[in-house]
Amino acid sequence: MKWKHIMIVFKKEVKDIVRDRKTLFSSIIVPIFLMPILFLLVGRGTAKMSEEMTTNITVALTADSYSPAAQNFLKESLETQGEDITIVDPVDDPWEAINSKKAKLVVSLDRDFEDKLKALEPFTLKIYYDNSLSRSGGAVGALRSAITKLNGTIAEQRLEALGINPEILTPVVVETENVARSGDGNMMLMMLLPMIIAMLVAVGGIPAATDLVAGEKERMTFEPLLTTRPGRMSILIGKYLTIILFSFASVISTLIGMLLAFIINPSSITMGLGQIGGFTMDRGSVILCLIVTLLLGMTFSGLQLAISTYARSFKEGQTYLSMLMFVVMIPAYAIMMIMPNDIQMYMYLIPVLNTVSAFKLVLGGMTNYTGLILAVATSLVYVVLSLLIAASMFKNEKYLFRS
């Protein structure tokens, strides 16, 4: 194996792929434009959903429990509690009314609610909602809040009528203050960003890998290459470095895409669920996290090269390599919701999980050198293993000349 030969192969492969519009487009160009569109659309969708749950909450009485007095009671007591509630005309069927957007919520009252109110007895207000519709299911909270306030107002009036100070009902006054140094959208970023980076690092090199061996076999350029002076390992490493380069190029282009989304609308980066900021990162952890990520890219580049060598044709290579995406997606999604302090030690030992965990840790401003060093050590083993697999495939005549 000679470095000179490796670099000749590497430079040629990079030049070749850069001129391949198909690979360049799918690895580099698409993420730059797709990411802002994706984040902005999802962010807008989330913001719209959140708005629907908290504003213009239309509430209707059921026709069964309707009476002018009930309608008036609801209007006077619920529309004045500070929530954006509007009482609309009564409806016959709660499901139909909610689904045809006549009302977001439907309520029924005991027919004798006025008598019970006067007699200081409780009466029932039943809320009908459709949990499959966020505008309805999500609005229940606002209505409950209004009813809680109403209960408090009525209780205060009753106590005052009895000459008792209403404060007797609140022995403890609760005050809250958010002392978080980070933005409220950081949690969402901790869920999304590590998963996106790990998945891209692991699969970003697929277009290049497919082209570099399976594609060469199909175009019949592979055999002439094998008859040139360099040993197989030099050719293999040259191609391997190319795949690693394009894996990370796709990650960088995705991050550029996300940055563009952030510049256009800062909250889009957290899918509309708050702003990000106030990160405090430990430098050592950041370095170890980047090393783990690099090693993950190297591991999967080796696997991609092995799979591409096994494939007879470009199409077969594409099919096998697309399966690799699922292998990556399963662990990445499995720990998507996990927060930095919930990361278990075993997660640092498993490919993909280790990178996702390392990024969550760093974004959460936490340190766990034992976990990160373990992740680096095991990742090194995976890199060596994947390279050994690729090398054994590359040296095996059975796979190399499969046609």
Partner 1 sequence: MIELKGLTKRFGNVTAVNDLSFTVREGEIFGLLGENGAGKTTTLRMLATMLKPTSGTARLAGIDIVESPEEVRGRVGILFGGESGLYDRLTVYENIQYFGELNDMPVREIKKRIQELADAFGMNDFLDKRAGKLSKGMRQKASFARAIVHNPDVLLLDEPTSGLDVGAMREVQAFLIDQKKAGKTILFSSHTMSEVEKLCDRIAVIHKGSLVDIGETEELLGKYGTQSLEELFVRLAGDGR
Binders of partner 1 among 274-293, rule CB under 8 A?
none
Should residue 403 be labelled a site residue for partner 1 when binding is judged by CB under 8 A?
no
Q: Which residues pair with 91 in a beta bridge?
A: 62
Q: Which stretch binds partner 1 (CB under 8 A): 12-20, 27-35, 85-93, 167-175?
A: 12-20
Should residue 360 be labelled a site residue for partner 1 when binding is judged by CB under 8 A?
no
Q: Which stretch binds partner 1 (CB under 8 A): 15-23, 126-134, 148-156, 267-275?
A: 15-23
- For partner 1, the closer of residues 19 and 283 by Cβ is 19
Provide the token pair at 327.
């292998």
Least distance in angstroms from the C-beta of 321 to partner 1: 21
Among 14, 20, 312, 378, indicate the residue that binds partner 1 (CB under 8 A): 20
Least distance in angstroms from the C-beta of 187 to partner 1: 45
Least distance in angstroms from the C-beta of 34 to partner 1: 25
Residues whose CB is less than 8 angstroms from the CB of residue 238 and which lie 6 or more positions away in sequence, other chains included: 5, 6, 7, 8, 9, 10, 12, 13
Residue 258 and residue 268: Cα distance in Å, rounded? Answer: 9
- For partner 1, the closer of residues 211 and 316 by Cβ is 211
Least distance in angstroms from the C-beta of 312 to partner 1: 16
Least distance in angstroms from the C-beta of 221 to partner 1: 5
Should residue 102 be labelled a site residue for partner 1 when binding is judged by CB under 8 A?
no
Binders of partner 1 among 206-235, rule CB under 8 A?
219-221, 223-231
Alpha helices, H only, 168-221? 186-203, 206-209, 216-218
Question: For the chain, what is the radius of gyration of the CA atoms?
Answer: 30
Size of the site for partner 1 (CB under 8 A): 23
Least distance in angstroms from the C-beta of 13 to partner 1: 10
Should residue 22 be labelled a site residue for partner 1 when binding is judged by CB under 8 A?
no
Least distance in angstroms from the C-beta of 297 to partner 1: 24
Should residue 392 be labelled a site residue for partner 1 when binding is judged by CB under 8 A?
no
356-361 own/partner pairs: CB under 8 Å, 24+ apart: 356/194, 356/195, 356/198, 356/331, 356/332, 357/194, 358/194, 358/285, 358/288, 358/289, 358/292, 358/293, 359/193, 359/194, 359/197, 359/198, 359/289, 359/293, 360/190, 360/194, 361/285, 361/289
Query: Which DSSP string corresponds to 292-361?
Result: HHHHHHHHHHHHHHHHHHH-SSHHHHHHHHHHHHHHHHHHHHHTTT--GGG--GGGGGSTTHHHHHHHHH
Residues that bind partner 1 (CB under 8 A): 5, 8-9, 12, 15-16, 19-20, 219-221, 223-231, 397-398, 401
